[in-house]
Structure 1
Amino acid sequence: MKHLFLLSVALFAAMGADAADVDVKSPDGKLVVSVSDDGGMPGYKVSYDGTVMLERSALGLKTDIADFTSGLIIDKSDESKIDKKYEITRTKTSAVHYTANQLDVVFKKDDGKKMKVTFCVSDNDVAYRYTLLPIEGSDYRCAVVYSEASSFNFPGKTTTFICPQIGPMTGWMRTKPSYEEDYTADAPMNVKSAFGHGYTFPCLFRIGNDGWALVSETGVDAGYCGSHLSDYAEGKGYTVAFPDKGENNGFGSACAAVTVPGSTPWRTITLGKTLKPIVETTVPFDVVEPKYEASTDYKPGRYTWSWLLWQDNSINYDDQVAFIDLAANMGYEYVLVDAGWDVNIGRDRVAELSRYAQSKGVSLLFWYNSNGAANDAPQTPRNCMNTAVARDREMKWLKSIGAKGIKVDFFGGDKQETMRLYEDILSDANRYGLQVIFHGCTIPRGWERMYPNYVGSEAVLASENLYFTQRHCDLEGFELTMHPFSRNAIGSMDWGGVIMKHRLGRGTDAGNYRRTTDVFEMATAITNQASVQCIAVQPDNIAELPQFEKDFLKAVPTAWNETHFVDGYPTKYVVMARRHGNDWYVGGLNGTDKPMTINISLPMFAGQKVKLYTDNKKKKGEDIASSALKTVKVDSKGMLKVTMQPLGGMVITK
């Protein structure tokens, strides 16, 4: 019995040693990730500035090689430093210096099978991924990942700003999921998702008064599926969930096939006491690398778009000429020609239209249906982007007529099969000098850095919905003060329009009523980020806009060298500053129905006179407050008091 007792003590001591946490800190020491194998279960926890931000959360993969979610011990760990600089032209900043500490932890099962988890920890970001390692004496060279145990177990005081994942083959023409559902604000974690499928990335969390966290993923390519979060489970938190098997019309696996050795995409967590690190994060791009070189110098710019408010009947030669002329008069680079151009205009006349646009200094972008067989969307051109042979033929023709890009719509979900299609379209388009916008689609996951001709994705309840229903006009303030903290924080967002009409239809007296002011809309050109952005001016009301509004819309850039969060709260208001070259642009939105007076810090303008685009108080009988351009002085400390009217905004420039 004595020997048995001593053996038990020895085993207990050994297990305790194996279960010891392995820590990695951020370069500034405030962010700490602790990794452990308690009870054979791999897990991690995260603290920031001494406060627990994530309680112990699960790690692991279930694969056809082994179950790497239990029965594991830490075999070894190694720490190293990351210090790299890179340039990027299509997102919130142009030059990044990424410094982080990296921890590689190898977990081992009793039979010797191993899984590595890599953590990269910078001052406000955690990124981690899994690597399946070769097995000694085995012929394993590939694997199937059935599921992930990866979880995010926030403290109970946490509230959420998240968007539900909808079920497959739902919505109009069975085109969903397409990341176009309604956000909820400041909701408790234990509320079930609206459709029972969890939540789409990115997910924003307020951890009581201790700070904020943004959870997402990056680095998803043809080698893995896209993911989302499950519903909340008490004691476990939210778990990474794979696509529904019904997505993409049931075609393709809902699992992921990987090589061995091979790595998964990165799970990312951005943390801070304030929202500043959330808005300014570059982690989606920091941990990925370019997959190919750009075949040409892809140009940022503005585009006009007839379909947004004039709809299908505008896809004719004469209306497109009107929008080309408007783009030329405004100094815009592009016009987007939407669905049905191949039928309504015809390919020969489209080539003629492209020549006309080029004579005006404007280039055309063309809409395409991604189908295929993913859903029932009937719009044409169809069956041009779903196979390599069709893409090669179509893109060669697009290059021959001088087209500069494509907008591809109606994808089928997040399966690996669909991720291959995204990558194939991007790669093939690059060979022909075409930049790509995705619509009716998933979120980008580091794609601005991975694919140099990638522009942006919709993946949001976007501007077209203002045309479709008055409800979304009424909610525009709520929605556009949400996205800088979530959807647009992780990647370029093709919201689809700085809408400068009060009635959202053809002519000036038809359609839903816009609730936001002109200056609110102008400010969205700054708060919404995409390197090729729609400025939705229209031929039927451009003459009615005040000259100072038109002058601003002619000059506003879409490519930024720096982005700074100034002030805000999700779904209430936001103020952001962006730099283009030597010029700063500050945009502010008030998403509420009450006036809002705030003191903002603008050190870049300290002691200087600046232009302030603002709203007058709404007069009796006015539907929308009128706008004004004033000159004001920022004090020597860089502070300025401003008032934003209900559903109004502000813009500050030199």
Structure 2
Amino acid sequence: MQFDSLFVNRFFRKIPLGINRQLGAFLVLLCLLGPSLAYAQEKAKVDSPNGQVSVLVFLEEGKIFYSVTFEQKSMLEKSPLGLVTNAGSFTQELSFVKSNTGEEKKSYTQDRIKQSFIQYHANTLTYTVKNSADQEISVHFQVSDNDIAFRYELPMWGETKGIVVERELTGYKFPSASTAFLSNMMRPMTGFARTAPSYESGYVADEPIANTNAPLGYVFPSLFKIGNDGWVLLSETGVGSNYTASHLSAIQEGVYTVAYPQAAQNNGFGSSGAQLGLPSYTPWRTITLGNSLKPIVETTIPYDVVDPLYKPSTNYKFGKGTWSWIVWQDNSMNYEDQVAYIDLAAAMGFEYILIDAWWDERIGYDRMEELIRYANSKDVDVFLWYNSNGTVNDAFQTPLHKMNTSFARKKEMKWLKAAGVKGLKVDFFGGDKQETMRLYEDILVEANEHELMIIFHGATLPRGWERMYPNFVGSEAVIASEMLIFVQDTREKEAFYATLHPFIRNSVASMEYGGVLLNKFLNKGNRQGQERLTTDVFQLATGVLFQNPVQMFGLTPNNLEEVEPFVLDFLKKLPTTWDETRYIAGYPGKYSVIGRRLGEHWYIAGVNAEKTPQTVKLQLPMFQGKKVLLYNDDKAKQPTLQTVEVGKNGEFTVTIQSNGGFVLTNHE
């Protein structure tokens, strides 16, 4: 605080002596307190409605930071904020402008996520600073009871209309004793036909954060254990054509930062930054936290802070499907094998069949129309596979050059609608740049105009898309079932990954895994070759653990004769949409138990990745004192079905075999 000395002298001469002395003492005190009062002004705090989560935002030496506590325990230490654009930088020499607090409340229904009815209540803080050029920027926080969402809001800067955000300083500094559960970012233009990155890397589990130094960083979502104090899940949401998708850097000086796509993605085409027109805002960065894994599993924050971008053009129908390619592979792409899989879908009461790559060459458009009519006669609808591009990688499977331009898409989708196709699976994207985000959005928007649902494969993490795009019904973005066919290491780690997904990848978005494989050997002969190392009941459990509104299961026609009838009956009744999801028990990388409900029917499912059987005591108030069905493995790892009674106190003890699983359900 500064004063003009000439003004002060003149002011004091005009005041009586007694009053002069008192006022002088006051002004001296004010001068002494001035710096601390100014500093206090530059600090702003917002708490969650229940008071357990606190976010503090502050300036320090011209830089902006934030920190987070949960139940008064430090979850994020002093962590940086800031943006760099081509029209102005917000990294240093910042000064405080103002801060505002408020409240956000909303209720909504959503038909394709882990919960069907959501009530969202958050307290808000908007913290505004300016740089040395007097350009302003705000950081807007919304803090609910176990979640934080924040984004940057950019007003007009004079005559500036368009900018490019080049990078963020947004960082996360965890206490040094924290451990991480992370999947590394894939190197661009590597892997099959140079299609990476495709979010198909393995995971480190419980790794000390000091060791998490993968050169290209880690994908969202990212899970952290904060010593004995709790858990934190990081992700982002609200990314469409408006921005680039981001990931997490390797740790540097104790801090992870938000990182933009590598320049080499998509064959080097397109900017790594984000193009915005002012006024505008960035996507939401999300932080989910708690003293257990319950808030991590049950969070709906990816959907709470976004809204639908358009209305559905029809009443989209979700359900289960068959899929020849996953086990019978390319050779199954012929008319006769697809008839066999249509018949399998009809026998199981499934709604769909997915017909994969090469159908245009090996079946053809005319015979495909005939095949669709046959499927419809069996009350089965059709999804068709497409290659997303023809320019950014070397993927050669057809149909090719049908989805990467508006003209080609509209022509193709007109035929698809007329032929009666209900959905597409679009593959091989391989990038997170804004150019690719626009392609995702363009496909979704134009597909909705033709009443088509969309599944993305070889693709990025969905970021709020289930709510933003009404015809979006899932993405892979995970080491999915196809890698069980191709890679021995994935077969050996199938249970390990299955215990991670409910806490990480599937926690923030639908996950089109393509699982429930019941062949002992993952090939057409089912006699030798790629041996499945998990049990049949493990596979049933993943049908519950892995949430996606349209599930393409890896069944084969021979399963109708070779698998226990009660196993098939389970799959016939299994829902793919849910009203509620609940964390029951588990530890990422060891075992997981999740509960899901549709209407009055509960499914409690668990799997075990440990080398020995695990006996777990569960708290199941939904089954308190009731008789329910238990699908489990016996000691020989064969599937069993029995009726059991849960204790009047809601306790139930179950033994899960190694690489095995169980399901408890009241759906008879």
Quote the residue 2:223 is aligned against: 204
**How has the CA–CA distance of structure 1 residues 587 and 147 changed in structure 2, closer, same or farther, with 3 Å as cutoff?**
same
Q: Shift of the alpha carbon at 1:440?
A: 0.3
How many correspondences in the alignment? 642
Cα contact 1:275–1:485 (8 A) shared by 2: yes
Quote the residue 1:230 is aligned against: 249
Equivalents in 2 of 1:160, 1:16: separation in Å? Answer: 38
Aligned with 1:158 (options 173, 178, 183): 178
Quote the residue 2:135 is aligned against: 113
Superposition pairs for residues 424-435 of structure 1, below 5 Å? Answer: 424-435=442-453
Cα contact 1:84–1:98 (8 A) shared by 2: yes
1:559 equivalent to 2:581? Answer: no
Equivalents in 1 of 2:431, 2:628: separation in Å? Answer: 46
Partner SS, residue 557 of structure 1: coil
Aligned with 2:405 (options 366, 387, 395): 387
Partner SS, residue 587 of structure 1: strand
Q: Shift of the alpha carbon at 1:16?
A: 4.6
Equivalents in 1 of 2:114, 2:140: separation in Å? Answer: 26
Equivalents in 2 of 1:175, 1:307: separation in Å? Answer: 19
Cα contact 1:434–1:453 (8 A) shared by 2: yes
Instruction: Give the number of the structure whose alpha-carbon radius of gyration is greater.
Output: 2
Q: Shift of the alpha carbon at 1:513?
A: 0.9
Deviations 1:583-616 (A, max 9, x none): 1111111112210101101111111001000100
Quote the residue 1:218 is aligned against: 237
Partner SS, residue 42 of structure 1: strand
Partner SS, residue 612 of structure 1: strand
Quote the residue 2:495 is aligned against: 477
Q: Shift of the alpha carbon at 1:71?
A: 1.3
Cα contact 1:25–1:101 (8 A) shared by 2: yes
Partner SS, residue 210 of structure 2: coil
1:641 equivalent to 2:653? Answer: yes
Partner SS, residue 594 of structure 1: coil
In structure 1, what residue type is equivalent to 2:189? M
Q: Shift of the alpha carbon at 1:188?
A: 1.2
Quote the residue 1:178 is aligned against: 198
Cα contact 2:89–2:131 (8 A) shared by 1: no
Cα contact 1:508–1:541 (8 A) shared by 2: no
In structure 2, what residue type is equivalent to 1:627? P
In structure 2, what residue type is equivalent to 1:43? F
In structure 2, what residue type is equivalent to 1:158? S
TM-score normalised by structure 2 residue count: 0.94
Cα contact 1:180–1:461 (8 A) shared by 2: yes
Equivalents in 1 of 2:651, 2:413: separation in Å? Answer: 51
Superposition pairs for residues 16-415 of structure 1, below 5 Å? Answer: 16-17=38-39, 20-135=42-157, 138-194=158-214, 196-235=215-254, 237-415=255-433
Equivalents in 2 of 1:335, 1:592: separation in Å? Answer: 35
Equivalents in 2 of 1:433, 1:527: separation in Å? Answer: 29
Equivalents in 1 of 2:146, 2:182: separation in Å? Answer: 21
Partner SS, residue 202 of structure 2: coil
Deviations 1:116-135 (A, max 9, x none): 11000000000000011113
Q: Shift of the alpha carbon at 1:9?
A: 6.9
Equivalents in 2 of 1:612, 1:595: separation in Å? Answer: 17
Cα contact 1:443–1:457 (8 A) shared by 2: yes
Equivalents in 1 of 2:278, 2:40: separation in Å? Answer: 26
Equivalents in 1 of 2:72, 2:457: separation in Å? Answer: 42
Q: Which of 582-591 and 198-207 deviates more?
A: 582-591
Q: Shift of the alpha carbon at 1:18?
A: 6.1
In structure 1, what residue type is equivalent to 2:243? Y
RMSD: 1.6
Equivalents in 1 of 2:430, 2:612: separation in Å? Answer: 40
Cα contact 1:18–1:74 (8 A) shared by 2: no
Cα contact 1:500–1:536 (8 A) shared by 2: yes
Q: Shift of the alpha carbon at 1:170?
A: 0.9
Q: Shift of the alpha carbon at 1:60?
A: 0.7
Aligned with 2:566 (options 529, 534, 548): 548
Quote the residue 1:622 is aligned against: none
Partner SS, residue 332 of structure 1: coil
Aligned with 1:586 (options 595, 598, 604): 604
Q: Which runs of 4+ in 1 moved over 4 A?
A: 6-12
Equivalents in 2 of 1:478, 1:193: separation in Å? Answer: 22
In structure 2, what residue type is equivalent to 1:642? V
Equivalents in 2 of 1:160, 1:148: separation in Å? Answer: 22
Partner SS, residue 479 of structure 1: helix
Cα contact 2:223–2:233 (8 A) shared by 1: yes
Cα contact 1:178–1:413 (8 A) shared by 2: yes
In structure 2, what residue type is equivalent to 1:228? H
Equivalents in 1 of 2:285, 2:458: separation in Å? Answer: 23
Cα contact 1:117–1:129 (8 A) shared by 2: yes
Deviations 1:505-554 (A, max 9, x none): 01220331111111110010100000001222111232111111111011
TM-score normalised by structure 1 residue count: 0.96
Equivalents in 1 of 2:445, 2:235: separation in Å? Answer: 24
Q: Shift of the alpha carbon at 1:3?
A: 9.6
Q: Shift of the alpha carbon at 1:476?
A: 0.2
In structure 1, what residue type is equivalent to 2:178? T
Equivalents in 1 of 2:440, 2:250: separation in Å? Answer: 27
In structure 1, what residue type is equivalent to 2:549? S
Q: Shift of the alpha carbon at 1:73?
A: 2.1
Quote the residue 2:17 is aligned against: none
1:508 equivalent to 2:526? Answer: yes
Cα contact 2:136–2:155 (8 A) shared by 1: yes
Identity of aligned residues (%): 51
In structure 2, what residue type is equivalent to 1:628? T
In structure 2, what residue type is equivalent to 1:319? D
Partner SS, residue 568 of structure 2: helix
Partner SS, residue 104 of structure 2: strand
Unaligned runs of 5+ in 2: 6-27
